[in-house]
Amino acid sequence: MTLPELQTLVDAAAELSPRHHAAVLTLAITGLRVSELVNAEWRDLFQDPQGRVGLRVIGKGDKERVIRVRDDLLGVLSALHGSGELNAKDRSPLLPSTRGTAYSARAVHKLVAQATQAAGLNKPVSPHWLRHTHATLAAAGGAPAVVIQASLGHARLETSQRYI
């Protein structure tokens, strides 16, 4: 997916609902797997000593990694959460449904599909395609392959290079 296509998708998602917007933006900016997003909780967000916000993610093989959370994404997630306060005891979902529960992977796929349709994109877009887009745009922006590997949580550099 190109950057203009991604921007069209993000804009369409924002017009649909805050949840559509948060799902699409989070997947595109972080490169998370859909399973990682649906399992993430508010308590997984933290601020480092330099004031940067990170998200602890448990990936495949129960491997933990940290994803940097941009300020714009934190704003979108905070609006959904109802507060920007980071609390290590807050077990609410990072991406809450209208009932305040975690979305299923299938429901996140549906959010992305609805945003894709609203954007008028004539290509298959899924949460996994947003992960590809994250890696491809990072590479195009000059990110080293090892940084992309760490961001995606791949054990092998060769796996990350397939995305690029």
Name the residues annotated as catalytic.
33, 60, 128, 131, 154, 163
Phi, psi of 65 (to 5 degrees): -145, 165
Q: Give CA separation, 63 vs 41, 67, 155, in Å.
A: 16, 13, 9
Residue 70 near residue 7, CB atoms below 8 Å: no
Report d(CA 164, CA 160) in Å as an integer: 7
Sheet holding 64-69, edge to edge: 45-47, 53-58, 64-69
User: b or e along 76-86 (b: 16 or more beta carbons within 10 Å of the residue's beta carbon)?
Assistant: bbbebbeeeeb
